[in-house]
Amino acid sequence: MSYNNQLGRRGEVVAAKFLQKEGYEILARNYYYKRAELDLIAFKDELVVIVEVKTRNSDFFGDPQRFVTPKKIKLMVRAADAFVQQKQWSYELRFDIIAVVLNSKQQQLTHIKDAFYHF
């Protein structure tokens, strides 16, 4: 596994622990649908929350959340729709981004709720 993949997985663990501390139930991690991956799928207050986790070891090139592209958003929406249909749920969906900066000197997390599309 490459350094970037390891860093990404560590960021997902940090994000999942944060969400659980905030009262979210983690329903799935790394859900794949065709070419899309949903990092975390959580549930809280009758709401299914799709979470894209962006992890970097520094914010030198900009905030990690700036790297969620329109193409990525489109793929995530399709995958989220497939997940909800598979479960036959009628819960409302929300898309969040959790940006994590992890390095030997810091662990910084930013939770952006309702980052795009709200169904």
Distance CA 27, CA 24 (A): 9
Is-contact 49 24, C-beta < 8 A? Answer: yes
Encoded tokens for 24: 């979210």
Encoded tokens for 12: 């997902």
Q: How high is the pLDDT of residue 24? A: 98
pLDDT-flagged residues of the chain (< 70)? 1, 3-4, 59-66, 117-119
Q: How high is the pLDDT of residue 105? A: 80
Half-sphere exposure of 23 (CA within 13 A, CB side): 4
Is-contact 95 115, C-beta < 8 A? Answer: yes
Dump the DSSP string for 66-101: GG--HHHHHHHHHHHHHHHHHHT---EEEEEEEEEE
Confidence (pTM)? 0.87
| Alpha helices, DSSP H, located in 2-69 | 3-21
Range of the domain at 30: 3-118
Model confidence pLDDT, tens digit, residues 73-93: 889 999 999 998 898 888 889
Q: How many domains does the chain have?
A: 1
Q: How high is the pLDDT of residue 32? A: 94
φ, ψ (nearest 5 deg) of residue 45: 55, 50
Residue 12 sits in a domain of what CATH number? 3.40.1350.10
